[in-house]
């Protein structure tokens, strides 16, 4: 794939092939994959939270295989050291000098498995790598491969032996989502696939090359975002900050990540422009994990998805000219009546092996009605990281 002559339809076809290749090995709702691929094409990182055994590790590995990317896995444990992640300087007796031994973070796709089982010091070892695409060892900086994507998994916080991810690190993940348990047909499909192979873990052949992934990421940078849609993204973030249930709302860094993910969504759909539906269907997975709730809201069982849902219901959706609101024939359409929720109930998860394989990733055509007003704030608190986020180093 050459970046000089790739059309939106060709980009959408490449992504469709990646999706189909992933679904050959993993039973994952298409909406979950859409959110994850949006983060990948936006040069972001993904946080998967779910109970053990729901396919997080397999899905991350299959995504890397389908894209032809180098994959490494780091099992986070309470005794894992930062140098076990980034690498360290070792003495070579034969050469009589010190040399750098790269750690597992030097790969295109790094699976940080059960990241919340490691202590905060080790979790922090990923921060520079995730944000700067580089690591510093003994005063020397080493660039990481491009593309570079971290897919971290964590167990629910109520499980024993976990360390809560700090807000600053959660904010660095473009997308946070959850798989949930598959439905009956999905689990039957798992058994059928296991019966038809002789290996314990499934694997797939690459659908594209690493260069094609880089081209798709560059195409996402060229997607047009109308001024009204930019204002819509900002207003959604500001609405989360005004919500009385939120101690801290979506940060300026979060605003940028929503913007980037929406552009990637347009590429996946075969468009060169962003629609309001792109923002709405990615609002939950890109915003909810950035919201820090008040103690009272936490006691009442409120979570970040409630705050984002209320923002979606109360912020006016910008009008888009009819000739700009039509898809160019990408693999997904957005003409349903309700916004898609990436954290939808696990019972609604569908197996991607029948008619449901091409289910729509739906947006909404207008505001929801009848929602109970949420408490509001008279002033907006500071962003989660204390100051406006600087732009990331682009590949």
**DSSP of 329-361:** S-S-----SS---TT--GGG---TTSGGGG---
Report the pLDDT value the prediction gives residue 108, as an integer from 0 to 100: 96
Domains of the chain, first to last: 8-358 (3.40.50.300)
Q: Which two tokens stand for residue 331?
A: 């693999």
Strands (E), 116-274: 134-137, 140-143, 149-154, 175-177, 246-248
Condensed to tens digits (0 to 9), the pLDDT of residues 251-295 reads 999 999 999 999 999 999 999 999 999 999 999 999 999 999 999
Whether residue 174 contacts residue 391, with contact meaning beta carbons closer than 8 Å, is answered with no
Q: How many CB atoms lie within 10 A of CB 133?
A: 18
Report the pLDDT value the prediction gives residue 333, as an integer from 0 to 100: 41
Angle between helices 252-268 and 8-23 (to 10 degrees): 90
How many residues are given for the chain?
A: 395
Condensed to tens digits (0 to 9), the pLDDT of residues 17-37 reads 999 999 888 888 888 899 999
Report the pLDDT value the prediction gives residue 173, as an integer from 0 to 100: 95
Q: Nearest-CA neighbor of 73 among 39, 114, 40? A: 114
Q: Nearest-CA neighbor of 73 among 116, 107, 38, 50? A: 107
CA distance 228 to 262: 14
Report the pLDDT value the prediction gives residue 4, as an integer from 0 to 100: 58
CA distance 203 to 201: 7
Q: Nearest-CA neighbor of 283 among 264, 266, 263, 261? A: 261
Report the pLDDT value the prediction gives residue 330, as an integer from 0 to 100: 42
CA distance 229 to 159: 40
**DSSP of 36-75:** HHHHHHTT--EEEE--TTSSHHHHHHHHHHHTT--EEEEE
Q: Which two tokens stand for residue 390?
A: 């600087």
Report the pLDDT value the prediction gives residue 181, as an integer from 0 to 100: 83
Report the pLDDT value the prediction gives residue 132, as an integer from 0 to 100: 86
198: left (phi over 0), alpha (psi -120 to 50) or beta: alpha
Report the pLDDT value the prediction gives residue 228, as an integer from 0 to 100: 96
**What is the chain's pLDDT, residue by residue, as a tens digit (395 residues)?**
665 578 889 999 999 999 999 988 888 888 889 999 999 999 999 999 888 888 888 899 999 999 999 999 999 998 999 999 999 888 888 888 888 899 999 999 999 998 988 888 888 888 778 888 999 888 888 999 999 999 999 877 666 667 778 888 889 999 999 887 888 888 888 888 888 887 777 788 999 999 999 999 999 999 999 999 999 999 999 999 999 999 999 999 999 999 999 999 999 999 999 999 999 999 999 999 999 999 999 999 999 999 999 999 999 999 876 454 444 444 444 443 444 444 444 334 443 344 333 333 333 344 433 444 455 554 444 444 444 444 444 43
Q: Nearest-CA neighbor of 84 among 93, 73, 95? A: 73
CA 275 to chain CA centroid, Å, is 19
Pairing, β 149-154 against β 46-49: parallel
Strands (E), 80-154: 87-92, 97-102, 109-113, 134-137, 140-143, 149-154
């Amino acid at each position: 794939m050459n970046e000089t002559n790739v059309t939106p339809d060709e980009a959408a076809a490449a992504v469709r092939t990646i999706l189909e290749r992933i679904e050959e090995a993993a039973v994952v709702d298409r909406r979950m994959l859409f959110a994850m691929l949006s983060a990948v094409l936006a040069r972001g990182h993904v946080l998967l939270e779910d109970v053990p055994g729901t396919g997080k590790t397999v899905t991350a590995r299959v995504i890397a295989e389908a894209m032809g990317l180098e994959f490494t896995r780091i099992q986070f444990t309470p005794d894992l050291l930062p140098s076990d992640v980034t690498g360290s300087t070792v003495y070579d007796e034969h050469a009589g000098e010190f040399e750098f031994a790269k750690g597992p973070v030097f790969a295109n796709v790094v699976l940080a498995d059960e990241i919340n089982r490691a202590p905060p010091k080790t979790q922090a070892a990923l921060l520079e790598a995730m944000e700067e695409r580089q690591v510093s060892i003994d005063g020397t900086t080493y660039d990481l491969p491009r593309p570079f994507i971290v897919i971290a998994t964590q167990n629910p916080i109520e499980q024993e032996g976990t360390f809560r991810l700090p807000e600053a690190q959660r904010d660095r993940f473009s997308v946070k989502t959850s798989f949930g348990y598959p439905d009956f047909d999905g689990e039957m499909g798992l058994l059928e696939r296991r019966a038809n192979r002789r290996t314990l873990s499934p694997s797939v052949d690459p659908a594209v090359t690493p260069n094609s992934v880089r081209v798709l990421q560059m195409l996402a940078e060229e997607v047009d975002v109308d001024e009204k849609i930019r204002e819509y993204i900002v207003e959604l973030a500001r609405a989360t900050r005004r919500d009385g249930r939120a101690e801290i709302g979506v940060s300026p860094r979060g605003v940028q990540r929503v913007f980037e993910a929406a552009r990637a969504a347009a590429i996946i759909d075969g468009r060169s422009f962003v629609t309001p539906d792109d923002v709405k269907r990615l609002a939950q997975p890109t915003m909810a994990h950035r919201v820090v709730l008040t103690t009272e809201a936490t006691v009442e069982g409120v979570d970040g998805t409630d705050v984002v849902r209320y923002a979606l219901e109360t912020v006016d959706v910008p009008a888009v000219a009819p000739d700009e609101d039509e898809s160019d024939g990408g693999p997904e359409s957005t003409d349903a009546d309700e916004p898609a929720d990436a954290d939808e109930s696990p019972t609604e998860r569908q197996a991607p092996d029948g008619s449901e394989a091409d289910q729509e990733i739906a947006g909404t055509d207008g505001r929801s009605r009848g929602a109970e007003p949420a408490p509001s704030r008279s002033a907006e608190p500071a962003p989660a990281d204390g100051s406006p986020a600087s732009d990331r180093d682009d590949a």
